[in-house]
Structures are given as structure tokens and as C-alpha cells.
């Protein structure tokens, strides 16, 4: 994701637990998409995060590859885009804000 863009929202990520002190990381979110299965991915500054609402967890993912990023960038917020014969939905700023304000998330151990 391009770091020259302004963040849409801020995602609160809880870290620690299991005997460690809890701390909170605030990750700026620059965009995101939903895939055909309804999975949500949000873009941070250097990583992407797959959101699990049921468990309130995030899985760190790599950013989009250049081809997928170009398709994403060419798509208006809230509109679908295709990449590698699959359809994705670019999230609107309102959807991203709603997700980010829905609660605190914990990082999941699985990649």
C-alpha cells in the first residue's frame, strides 16, 4: 500500500497476555477488500490483516502483489474488481471505519 495516502481509520490491536503485560498497538488502515467468501482484509502501512470477527483476531498477511494492487487502485470504493479470475469487493471508507471501531482485535499466531 502506498504510504503517501492518508489513513482511512485506525485499528486497535491488543498484544500481550498469557503472563505478559497487555499493550495496544494502533495501526493506521489505508484500505481493504472482501473476497467472494466474505473474508475481510485490511491494509496497514506494511502488512495486511485478515479479520476474524467471531474470534476478534487478525492474521497478518503480505500486501497485495503489484498486479492486484493496480486493479484495487483502479477501482472506486465500494465497487467490485477482478484479479486472477476471482472477484473482490473494495471496501468503502465507511465500511473500513465501521470495522475498525467494532472493537479491539488480537493478533492470531497463524499466518
Check whether 14 has a pLDDT greater than 90: no
Segments of the chain assigned E as strands:
9-17, 20-29, 31-34, 40-43, 48-52, 57-61, 80-83, 86-90, 105-107
Q: Quote the pLDDT of residue 76.
A: 96
Q: Are 71 and 82 in contact (CB under 8 A)?
A: yes
Check whether 19 has a pLDDT greater than 70: no
Q: CB 104: neighbour CB atoms within 10 A?
A: 11
C-alpha span between 42 and 64 (Å, rounded)? 11
Q: Quote the pLDDT of residue 2.
A: 44
Across 81-85, 91-95, 102-106, least confident range: 102-106
pTM value is: 0.86
Residue among 110, 72, 73 nearest 89 (CA) = 72
Pairing of strands 31-34, 20-29: unpaired
Q: Over the stretch 29-85, which tens digit does the pLDDT of each residue have?
A: 999 999 999 999 999 998 999 999 999 999 999 999 999 999 999 999 999 999 999
Q: Quote the pLDDT of residue 68.
A: 94
Amino acid at each position: 500500500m502506498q504510504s503517501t495516502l492518508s489513513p482511512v481509520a485506525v485499528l486497535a490491536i491488543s498484544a500481550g497476555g498469557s503472563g505478559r503485560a497487555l499493550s495496544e498497538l494502533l495501526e493506521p488502515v489505508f484500505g481493504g477488500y472482501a473476497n467472494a467468501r466474505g473474508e475481510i482484509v485490511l491494509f496497514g502501512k506494511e502488512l495486511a490483516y485478515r479479520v476474524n470477527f467471531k474470534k476478534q483476531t487478525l492474521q497478518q498477511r503480505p500486501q497485495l502483489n503489484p498486479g492486484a494492487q493496480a486493479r484495487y487502485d483502479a477501482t472506486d470504493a465500494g465497487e467490485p474488481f477482478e484479479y486472477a479470475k476471482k472477484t473482490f469487493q473494495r471496501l468503502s471508507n465507511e465500511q473500513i471505519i465501521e470495522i475498525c471501531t467494532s472493537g479491539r482485535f488480537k493478533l492470531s499466531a497463524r499466518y
